[in-house]
Amino acid sequence: MAVRTQDARRGRTRTRSAAGAVLAGLLLTSACATPEDPAAGITTQEIGAALDRRAAAVMEQDTDAYLAELDPRAASFRAAQRTELGNLADVPLESWAYEVKDVTGRGAGRATAHVELRYRIKGYDNAPMTASRTVELVRRGEDGSWYIAADRAGEDAQELLWQQGDVEVVRGVHSLVLAVGRRDEELRRIAATADRAVPAVSGAWPEPWARRVVVLVPQSVQDMAGLLGSPAASYRGIAAVTTGEVGGTGRAPADRVVVNPEAYGMLGEFGQRVVLTHETTHVATRADTSAATPVWLSEGFADWAAYRQESRTDQEIAPELAEAVRLGELPAALPVDEDFGFGEDSAELARAYEGGWLACALIARDWGEEELIAFYRAVGSHSGRDGAVEKALQTVLGTTPQDFTARWREYLRARLG
């Protein structure tokens, strides 16, 4: 899933939990909440109504209405919110709504609401993307009106792209690129590469999927880390990351491919093409990828799809594993999940990716591409990790783990030796 710049070849998928990034749901509703005693302070319904007005102002890009809900004494907050609304101006929103999850600290003219922001990109999201927000409200004036005094990311929540700057939008045939602080020419090249990746993935994965992709391009690796909620050191040298919810139900929105502009920019045309095709494969296969799917299969299949129509030799695609085979260090078993960790041994990581790719290539050669897809889906549909691969090997490919491993080792020797 990751591309180290030294490797110049592959991308990385990062799966988000339902609490971390991508959830399903839409409309703001407070109707199910139990009304509180007004004497105790603002009610959940009143908070919901204020956020409803705020959401409508976002959709209409109505600056006056948006600012009317904000604390008139909070000058810095109002200025920042005006800027943020402007940053959203070109984003093609289909919906924007809030749901109040909890209210704390109610009373004495103040309240804190824990809120879920839900928004959709028009033409790309079948269900809302979500973000946890903490909203503080204060009572002002003789009439006791309530205003929003602060709006910040909730606990463990990530930054949103428009909080990092003015969002530039580039539309491709099959892609939508949203970026901050990058040149238009660069973004149009990314859109063109993504447009090429989508049909390539559809050829490798003919199952139903959205056949479109949203690509986020932050200004720097630090900003990328902010979008993903992890330290920047986790992504240095990684060209792209795909966020999404495994085991999609059909209600989940399209994944986001997040590009590290620094590492991605160091790749050549071939490397960039492979990265976005690899990441787009994760978008396409998301609904059939689950906790039962081993990393060697999800990453190996994404690499197989990315290299499927490329003309590079096996040694060019898998140099680290080829070197190990030449030295007589043939792997004894398929890579385990831990082999795909981003530690200090980049050669070990590369061998894990290369081994997964060749395992999928072996299935495609000896059983056929349709069976490879059927195998992938069968593994992902299993109730858990234990026994998932073993059962799919038996029912789909008619083999055993021992036999498959032996054939894979011989395949490595024949192709890379």
pLDDT digits (tens, 9 = 90+) for 293-326: 999 999 999 999 999 999 999 999 999 999 999 9
What are the DSSP E strand ranges found in 187-342?
213-217, 240-243, 256-259
Instruction: Please report, for residues 122, 160, 231, the alpha-carbon distance to residue 225 in angstroms, rounded to integers and kept in the order given.
Output: 25, 11, 6
> Is 70 exceeded by the pLDDT of residue 30?
no
Percent of the chain with pLDDT over 90: 78
Instruction: Please report, for residues 129, 234, 360, 373, the alpha-carbon distance to residue 304 in angstroms, rounded to integers and kept in the order given.
Output: 29, 25, 7, 11
pLDDT band at 344 (very low <50, low <70, confident <90, very high): low
Beta bridge mates, 178 = 169, 216
CA-CA-CA-CA dihedral for 279, 284, 287, 290, to nearest 10:
-30
> Is 50 exceeded by the pLDDT of residue 19?
no
What's the mean per-residue pLDDT of the chain? 88
- Please give the pLDDT value at position 55: 98
Tokens found for residue 52: 């409803």
> Is 60 exceeded by the pLDDT of residue 260?
yes
> The CATH number of 1-19+165-289 is which of 2.60.40.10, 2.60.34.10, 3.30.1490.100, 3.30.2010.30?
3.30.2010.30
> Is 80 exceeded by the pLDDT of residue 229?
yes
Q: Where is pLDDT greater, at 78 or 31?
A: 78
154 class by beta-carbon count within 10 Å (0-12 exposed, 13-18 middle, 19+ buried)? middle
> Is 70 exceeded by the pLDDT of residue 288?
yes
Q: How confident is the model over 116-171, as pLDDT tens digits?
A: 999 999 999 888 899 999 999 999 988 889 999 999 999 888 899 999 999 999 99
Mean pLDDT across 388-414: 98
pTM given for the model: 0.86
Secondary structure (3-state) at 278: helix
Q: Where is pLDDT greater, at 15 or 295?
A: 295
- Please give the pLDDT value at position 174: 97
Percent of the chain with pLDDT over 70: 88
Of 9-18, 217-226, 356-365, which range is least confident? 9-18
> Is 70 exceeded by the pLDDT of residue 196?
yes
- Please give the pLDDT value at position 143: 85
Secondary structure (3-state) at 219: coil
Q: Where are the domains of the chain?
A: 1-19+165-289, 38-157, 290-417
Classify the phi-psi angles of 156: left when phi > 0, otherwise alpha if psi is within -120 to 50, otherwise beta. Answer: left
- Please give the pLDDT value at position 26: 29
pLDDT band at 33 (very low <50, low <70, confident <90, very high): very low
Helix (H) and strand (E) counts for the chain?
Answer: 14, 10
Interatomic CA distance for residues 69 and 46, integer angstroms = 12
Domain 1-19+165-289 matches domain 38-157 at the CATH topology level: no
> How many CB atoms sit inside 10 A of residue 184's CB?
10
Mean pLDDT across 33-62: 81
Give the CATH fold of the 38-157 domain: Nuclear Transport Factor 2; Chain: A, (3.10.450)
> If you count them, how many residues does the chain have?
417
> Is 50 exceeded by the pLDDT of residue 96?
yes
pLDDT band at 417 (very low <50, low <70, confident <90, very high): confident
